[in-house]
Structure 1
Amino acid sequence: MPRTLKPFDVDALWALARIGEPSLSPDGAQAVASVTRHDMEQNQARSSLYLFSTLGGEPRRLTEAGDKDGQPRWSPDGRWIAFTAKREQGGVKDEEPQLYLIAPDGGEAQRLGSVPTGVEAFRWAPDSRSIIFISWVWPELKGMEAQAKALKDFKARKESAYVTDEALYRHWDHHIPMGRQPQLHAIELKTGKVRNLMQGSGVSLDWREPGVNSFAVSPDGRRIAFAFDPAAEKRPDNCFALAELEIKTGAVRVLLQEAEWSFDAPAYSHGGQHLAFVAAQQGKRHTAPAQLAVLDTQGQWAVLSADFDREVEAPLRWRADDLAIRFAAEDQGRRHLCEFDLQTRAEPALLFEGGHLAAFDAQADAVVVLHDAVQFPPRLSVLGADGPVRIEQLNDAQLAQHAFGAHEEVWLQGAQGDAVQMWLVYPPGFDRKKKWPAMHVIHGGPHTAFGDSWHWRWNHQVFANQGQVVACVNYHGSSSFGFAFKDSITHRWGELELQDVEAGTDWLLQQRWVDKKRITATGGSYGGYMVAWMNGHTGQGVAPGRYRAYVCHAGCYDWQAMFATDGYTWFPRELGAAYWDDPAKVAAQSPHAFAQHCQTPTLVIHGQLDYRVPDAQGLAYYNTLKARGVPARLVWFPDENHWILKPRNSKLWYQEFFAWIERHTK
C-alpha cells in the first residue's frame, strides 16, 4: 500500500457525502438532490438540497436552515422546487414533516400550508398549482382541524398500549399508526388549503411503505391512478389492484383487479391513453417476477416483458414519444437502466450499464443517473452519446486520500451443477505471493444479490482494508439470475445455498494465496440465517472447523419463533408449510434444530427495533451458544432496527466485527 494513502476505514466511510435521488428541471439543464453529511462526534446527520448543472461544474447549495431536507421535486413549470422537511418557521416548529417551496435561484424556503399528520411523499400536479401527497389520517374524520385534534389527543393519552385487530400492524421498525391510513391529499399553492382526496372512499395506499411510486397523476391533472389492497383485511401477502380517482369529485373506480395478479407502480403515458405498471402473478407463485405491463382506456391489459427473464423495477418512465418505457433491472449482480420498445417488444436496450443504478430521472432530452460501484459511492452523471458523464465530484478529494482494493467476479460450479457467481474484493496492495485470510460476506433476502455496488452498512472496501479477501457468493435464490434460479430454493431453504457457499470456499482453498486456517463467514438477515445454518452443518461439530469464526447479524434462527416477524405470512410460502401443519418440515430448514452440532465461535449482533427479524432470534441463538459452551459474544442495540444506522453505533459495529474476526484468525 502506498504510504501516501490512508486505509479506508469506518471514519472515512462516514465522512463521505451521501447523494439522494435526483430530480431534473423541466428543461433538463439542472438536477436537484439532497446531500446528507454525518458528524461522528455529534452522532447526527444533516441533509441539504444542492443544484447540479447537467453540464458539470461546482454544485450550488440551495438550502441550509433545515436538518433533513429531502425528496426534492421540480415543479412542471420550473418555478419551484418542493421538498419535505421539519423546520421552525414563523414561530412554529414542525412536529411532523411538512412541504416547503424554494425558488431554484435561491432565497428562503417557505412552508406550504400545514398538515398536522405530516407529509410522506408527493407529486406535483401538471399545472404546478397544487401538490398531491400522502398523509396518514383517521379516515372517518373530515378536515385538517379534526385530524389535528385527534393527533393532539392521541399524543396526550396516558396509556401506552398499541391495540389492534388488524393482521398488518407493524412494519420494519415501526407500528402502523393506530387507527390511521395512508390517503392521498391535495394542497393548493395559492392558498395552502388541504383536501383529503380519498375522504369517505374506503380505500387507502399500501400500509407498509406508501411512496411516490404508489400513485401517478394523469397528464390532464384530472385523475390519479394508484395501487391499493382491495381486501377487507390487509395482509402482507395480499395481491394489489389498480384504481383511478377523480380529483374533482373524489370518485374512485377500479381499473384492474385479478385474483392471481398483484399490480403496482402505475405511470401514465404523456398522451394519457395508456397506463404502464408492474405486474407479478403472485397467486400462482409467490416468487413470481415483477413484469412490465400496460393498460389501455378500453380496459385491455397485457404483460409486455414475458420473454425478459429479469425483474422490472419501479419507477417506470415513458419516453417523450410514448413509444418506449424506461425502468431499472438487475442482471447478474448489476443494476442497469433499460428501455423497452413498445413497437418491437424486443429485448430491452441498455441505456446505462452498471455497476449499480440507484436512481434516475429524465426530462427533455436529458437523463440523469445516480450510480455507484464497489470502487466508489453514489455519484451523479448524465447520459451522453458516449456514455455517462460526471456532473459532480463531491467525494473525489476525500476518496483520493485512501487506498482501495481491486474487485472481480468469478464463476463456480455450484448446486445442481449450475454456474454460480462470486464477487471478490482484494485488500489494497494485494500480493498473490503472500498468504491472506478470506471472509465470506453472505447477503440477505434471500432474493437479493451482492454485486458491483457500494454498501453503506456492509462496506466491502472497509472490510478489505482490514487485510483480508472478501468473497460474496450469489447463491441459488439470489435475484438477477432469472426466475428458475431465484425460485430453486423454495421449500428447501439452506440446502442449495450451503452448497454454493461451500463451492466458493473450495475455490478459495485452491488459491495459493489463501491462508487455509484463516477463513471466516459473516452475514446479515438471511445471511445471518446462513451462518447459523452453517454452524450446525459444516465440520460435523468439530471446532475449529472449516470456518474459524462466524458473525451473525440480525440472523433468522428459529422459523417457528419467526412468526413474530412483520412478514409472518410470507415464510410458510417459502418454507412449504406452516409450523402447525408440518412442524418437521419447518424444523428441517431451521438452524435451531441443529444446535447440537454448533461449535464455531460466533459474534451475534441484533437491534431491538428489528421487526423483520425480531431480536429474540439473535438472543435465542446467543443464549444457545453460551449454554452449550461455544465461544460467543453479543452486541445488542436498543435503538437500531434491522440496519445499524447511527454513526457512533455503526463505528462500534465495525470495531466489534473486526475485533472478533481478528481474535479468531490471528
Structure 2
Amino acid sequence: MTLKAIKFTPKVMLEAPRRSPAVPSPDGLKALFTVSTYDFEEHKKTSEIRVLDIETAQSKVLVQNLGANEPNWIGNDEFIYFKSAEKGKTVLVVDSVSNPGGDSQQEVITIDGVLSNLKTKKFPSGKIALACSALAKPDGRLANPEAEPKPHSSAKIYSSLFVRHWDTWLTENRNSIWYSALEKCDGKYSLVSGGFYNALAGTDLSSPVPPFGGTGDFDICHKGLVFVAKDPKLDPAIYTKTDLYFVPITGFTEPKLPPPKIIETPGLEGYTQSPVFSHCGRKVAFTRMRSKQYESDKPRILLLRDIEDIGPAEEFFTTEDGEGGWDFRPESILWSADDSTLYTTAEHHARTLVWELPADPAHAKELPTEVKTVEGSVGDLRLLSDSSKKLFITSTSLIDNSCYSVVDPSHGTVSVVSSGSRQGKTFGLNRSSCGDIWFKGAGGYPVHALVLRPSNFDKNKKYPLAFLIHGGPQGAWLDGWSTRWNPAIFAEQGYVVVTPNPTGSTGYGMALQDGITGDWGGRPYNDLVACFEYIADNLTYVDTNRAVALGASYGGYMINWIQGHPLGRKFKALVCHDGVFSTLNQWSTEELFFPIHDFHGTIYDNRAAYEEWDPAQHVHEWATPQLIIHSELDYRLPITEGLSPFNILQAKGIPSRLLMFPDENHWVIKPENSLVWHREVLNWINKYSGVDESTFVDRRKADL
C-alpha cells in the first residue's frame, strides 16, 4: 500500500517530505540528503539524514535528529555533519554509512556557536580540510548570541545606514568563514588545531553575504580559500558591489593568515557569486555583474587562470559594447573532472537548464549548448563521482517536488534515479496538466506564460481563471516546485492557472527583463492585459468572467496597481501578499539600491519617477474585493504597506480582509502559518469565483 493524495491540498503539500539536494559519494555509488516533514496532527517537525543507493534507488535513515544538518562525505563510507546543541552550540559528528550510530560514530568537538554551510576537501595525505560559516564578534572571536547576557534595555542605536536586513535588526556581529582540519589517528578523528580559526579575522570583510549567502559564496582547495564579500568602502544599503578574494591556506591549521587578495574584474563591479576551484586547484571560475546598484543585472562567467599568480579575471563571451555575447543569466558553476569543461545553470523560458561550455574563454568561440535534463528546473548539479563524466542533478517541476537524476552530457542520456513524489503520482498530479502559451506583449514582442490545468481536466467544461503575478520584479514563474506559491494547489481547487512572465521577467533575454526599469506600471501592466485578453479569446475552457488574480511582493504591487485600473474590474477578487501600496514609501526598505535603480535615482532627486507608478494615486478607482496579507518581520516592505490599503478598502466599503503574521518575514515559512495562509487565500478566491467548497478534502490512504 502506498500513500496517495485523493486531492492535492495545502495540507498534503505541507506534510509531504522535503528533500534537500543529494550529494554523491566520491565513488558515485551513494548520495547523502536530508528529509524534513511536518505533522499537523502532532504539530511537530522531524528531520533525517538519509543515504541513497544510486543503483537501486533505495534509501535508508542514517541519523534521525531535528538538529542534524549539513551532511558531507569524508570518504566512501564515512560522513560528517553538524548537530545543534543547547544554548546555541554546535557538535561536529562523524559517522559511518555502513553502520550508522554504531561504534564508528564520534562526536569530534562541541563548538560554542552556531556553525553552518559546511564544506570539506580531502587531501592526498588523508587530512580533511573543513570550512564553514558562523557569526564573529568585532574582535574576530566566535559569537554566540544565545549564550550572551541579556541587556537590561531593548534600545537599538544606529548612526549609519543599513540598520536592519530582511527580517533582522543588525548587530555588531558579522558572518565570517571558519576553517580547520580533521585528522584520523588510532581510529579516532580530531581537529588538528583543536578548533576552528576565523579566516577573516583582522579584516573589514564579511562572508557569506546576507541574507541568502551560503556555501555558494566560498570554496576551498589544497591551496586555500576563495570567498565573496561586500566592498567595505561602500555603503551596503546603497551599493550591491561584492568582490572575490583569495587567502592562501597551506594546511588549514595555521592560526594566522596573510591578508586576503582581491581578484580584479575590469569593467564589472556588481554582485560576485558562485566561486569554484578547478580540480587542480589552480583556477577559479565565478560570475560577476556589471552594475554596482542593480541586484538583478546579468551575471557573466569569469575565469581566474592562476591563483598563485593573480592577475585580472577573464570574461567569457565579451563584446565591444560591453553587453556580453550570451544573453542568459548563469548561476551555479561546475567543473568537469578533467577541468576542460564548465557546466552552469541558467533560466530559459521558465525552466532552469544546464549549459555546457569550454573552461577557457579563448576556446569558448560558440555560445553554451544545452545539456539534456529531466523536465522542470535544475536546482543543484554535481559530478556523479570524482572522476565521472556524468552529472548528478537535483531538480523539481510543477508536479514533482524532488527528482534525482544522472545525466551523461556526452551521450545526451538522462536516467531518473529517485523522485520524491513518483513524478507527481503521489500527489495525483501528471505532466499532461502542464502547458504553455505565447502571446504578443504591449510592444508586439512575444510573451510567455505557463498554464496548469486540474488533474481531472475536461476540455468540454469551463474553469475559472487563477491569474498569478510573480514578484521580483526581475523574476519569473518557473516549471519548478514551491511550497509558498504552488500553481497546482490552485489548479486542484478547480482553476485553470496561468502564470505570465511579462516585461521584467528573467529567462527571456535582458531586453525584456530591463524593460521594467522606470516603468513598473507601464509595459508589465499592458503585457498582463494582453495575456488576459489572449486567454479570453483563445482558451475556450477558461471562464474569464469568474477570474481571480493573486500576487506577492512586486506581484502584490501589481495587484494594487490593477485595482486602480481597468484590468481590476475583470476580476471577481484580488489577493495581495506583502505588496507595495505606495512607491513613495520605498525608502522605508533596507536595500536602497533597489528603488534607486528601478526608479532612476533617489526620491529626493527624481520624485516624479516614484509618483508616476504609485498605486496610492489611484485609490479612488478601487472597487474589487481584496484580501491583504502582510507580515511584521518583512523589513523589505513594512507592515504599513499592508495596513494602508486595507484601511482604504474598509473605509470605502469594499469587501476586504486582512491576514497578518507577526512572526513571518517576506515569505510565510512556518507550516502552521502556511496552512492558515492557504486556507484564507483559497476561501477568499473560491467565495468570489464560485468554486464549490466540496473541493476541500484532506489526505487519505489509497492503493495506487
- Fold conserved (TM > 0.5)? yes
Single out whichever of 392-401 and 446-455 deviates more from structure 2. 392-401
Match of 2:643, SS state, is: helix
AA paired with 1:375? I
Residues 487-513 of structure 1, C-alpha deviations (whole Å, 9 max, x = no match): 011111121111111111101211332
Match of 1:209, SS state, is: coil
How much does 1:234 deviate? 4.2
161, 175, 186: which one pairs with 2:179? 186
Matches within 5 A, 1:582-661: 582-661=606-685
261, 280, 302: which one pairs with 2:289? 280
Pair 1:412-2:452 in alignment: no
Residues 578-621 of structure 1, C-alpha deviations (whole Å, 9 max, x = no match): 22223232011121121111111100111211122222211111
Match of 2:628, SS state, is: strand
355, 368, 379: which one pairs with 1:348? 368
Q: Which residue of 1 aligns with 2:23?
A: 23
Single out whichever of 470-479 and 583-592 deviates more from structure 2. 583-592
Match of 2:583, SS state, is: coil
Sequence identity of aligned pairs in percent?
Answer: 24
Q: Which residue of 2 aligns with 1:549?
A: 573
Residues of 2 paired with 1:565 and 1:68: CA distance? Answer: 33
Q: Which residue of 1 aligns with 2:135?
A: 136
Pair 1:113-2:131 in alignment: no
AA paired with 1:30? K
Residues 214-235 of structure 1, C-alpha deviations (whole Å, 9 max, x = no match): 11113xx231111112333541
Match of 1:235, SS state, is: coil
Q: Is the 8 A contact 2:400 2:421 kept in 1?
A: no
Residues of 2 paired with 1:327 and 1:99: CA distance? Answer: 32
For normalisation by structure 2, the TM-score amounts to: 0.87
Residues of 1 paired with 2:427 and 2:519: CA distance? Answer: 47
Q: Is the 8 A contact 2:240 2:294 kept in 1?
A: no
How much does 1:398 deviate? 8.7
Residues of 2 paired with 1:216 and 1:367: CA distance? Answer: 19
Residues 549-584 of structure 1, C-alpha deviations (whole Å, 9 max, x = no match): 100011111122232222222112101232222323
Residues 174-208 of structure 1, C-alpha deviations (whole Å, 9 max, x = no match): 233x1112122123432342222222233222243
Residues of 2 paired with 1:284 and 1:567: CA distance? Answer: 10
Match of 1:515, SS state, is: strand
Residues of 2 paired with 1:141 and 1:400: CA distance? Answer: 49
Single out whichever of 481-490 and 656-665 deviates more from structure 2. 656-665
- What are the ranges of 5 or more consecutive residues in structure 1 without an aligned counterpart? 88-92
Pair 1:204-2:198 in alignment: no
316, 322, 328: which one pairs with 1:304? 316
Q: Is the 8 A contact 2:400 2:423 kept in 1?
A: no
How much does 1:173 deviate? 1.9
Match of 1:456, SS state, is: coil
Residues of 2 paired with 1:649 and 1:202: CA distance? Answer: 39
Distance change >3 Å, CA 352–CA 94, structure 1 → 2: farther
Q: Is the 8 A contact 1:241 1:258 kept in 2?
A: no
Distance change >3 Å, CA 303–CA 368, structure 1 → 2: same
Q: Is the 8 A contact 1:6 1:403 kept in 2?
A: no
Distance change >3 Å, CA 181–CA 112, structure 1 → 2: farther
Matches within 5 A, 1:33-432: 33-64=33-64, 66-75=65-74, 77-78=75-76, 80-87=78-85, 93=86, 95-108=88-101, 109-127=105-123, 128-142=127-141, 147=143, 152-153=147-148, 155-176=149-170, 178-189=171-182, 190-191=190-191, 192-205=194-207, 206-218=209-221, 221-236=222-237, 237-247=239-249, 248=254, 249-251=256-258, 252-256=260-264, 258=266, 260-262=268-270, 263-283=272-292, 287-297=296-306, 298=309, 299-305=311-317, 306-314=324-332, 316-342=333-359, 343-353=363-373, 354-362=375-383, 363=385, 364-365=387-388, 366-384=390-408, 385=411, 387-396=413-422, 399-400=425-426, 402=428, 404=430, 406-432=433-459
Distance change >3 Å, CA 301–CA 622, structure 1 → 2: same
AA paired with 2:356? E
496, 499, 510: which one pairs with 2:526? 499
Distance change >3 Å, CA 398–CA 289, structure 1 → 2: closer
AA paired with 1:185? W
Residues 267-302 of structure 1, C-alpha deviations (whole Å, 9 max, x = no match): 121223321110110149664300111012240322
Q: Is the 8 A contact 1:18 1:35 kept in 2?
A: yes
Count the aligned residue pairs.
643
AA paired with 1:376? D
Residues of 2 paired with 1:116 and 1:33: CA distance? Answer: 26
Q: Which residue of 1 aligns with 2:696?
A: none
AA paired with 1:341? P
Match of 1:62, SS state, is: strand
Residues of 1 paired with 2:590 and 2:45: CA distance? Answer: 28
Distance change >3 Å, CA 563–CA 56, structure 1 → 2: farther
- What are the ranges of 5 or more consecutive residues in structure 2 without an aligned counterpart? 183-189, 318-323, 691-704
Single out whichever of 355-364 and 408-417 deviates more from structure 2. 355-364
Q: Is the 8 A contact 1:23 1:31 kept in 2?
A: yes
Q: Which residue of 2 aligns with 1:90?
A: none
How much does 1:96 deviate? 4.2
Distance change >3 Å, CA 403–CA 130, structure 1 → 2: closer
Residues of 2 paired with 1:69 and 1:25: CA distance? Answer: 19
Match of 2:379, SS state, is: strand
Q: Is the 8 A contact 2:400 2:422 kept in 1?
A: no
Single out whichever of 204-213 and 628-637 deviates more from structure 2. 204-213
Match of 2:418, SS state, is: coil
Pair 1:436-2:463 in alignment: yes
Distance change >3 Å, CA 403–CA 308, structure 1 → 2: closer
Residues of 2 paired with 1:626 and 1:53: CA distance? Answer: 57
Q: Is the 8 A contact 1:548 1:664 kept in 2?
A: yes
Q: Is the 8 A contact 1:56 1:392 kept in 2?
A: no
Residues of 2 paired with 1:520 and 1:513: CA distance? Answer: 16
AA paired with 1:18? R
Q: Is the 8 A contact 1:279 1:303 kept in 2?
A: no
How much does 1:514 deviate? 2.5
Q: Is the 8 A contact 1:608 1:639 kept in 2?
A: yes
AA paired with 2:32? V
Residues of 1 paired with 2:348 and 2:609: CA distance? Answer: 33
How much does 1:100 deviate? 2.8
Residues of 1 paired with 2:355 and 2:40: CA distance? Answer: 38
Q: Which residue of 1 aligns with 2:320?
A: none
499, 508, 521: which one pairs with 2:549? 521
Match of 1:529, SS state, is: helix
574, 577, 592: which one pairs with 1:568? 592
Q: Is the 8 A contact 2:632 2:660 kept in 1?
A: yes
Matches within 5 A, 1:438-477: 438-477=465-504
Q: Is the 8 A contact 1:240 1:257 kept in 2?
A: no
For normalisation by structure 1, the TM-score amounts to: 0.91
AA paired with 2:226? A
Distance change >3 Å, CA 166–CA 63, structure 1 → 2: farther
AA paired with 1:484? A
Residues of 2 paired with 1:446 and 1:650: CA distance? Answer: 23
Query: CA RMSD, aligned part only?
Result: 2.3
Residues of 2 paired with 1:118 and 1:73: CA distance? Answer: 17
Single out whichever of 40-49 and 408-417 deviates more from structure 2. 40-49
Single out whichever of 620-629 and 39-48 deviates more from structure 2. 39-48
Residues of 2 paired with 1:271 and 1:238: CA distance? Answer: 31
Q: Is the 8 A contact 1:46 1:68 kept in 2?
A: no
AA paired with 1:339? E
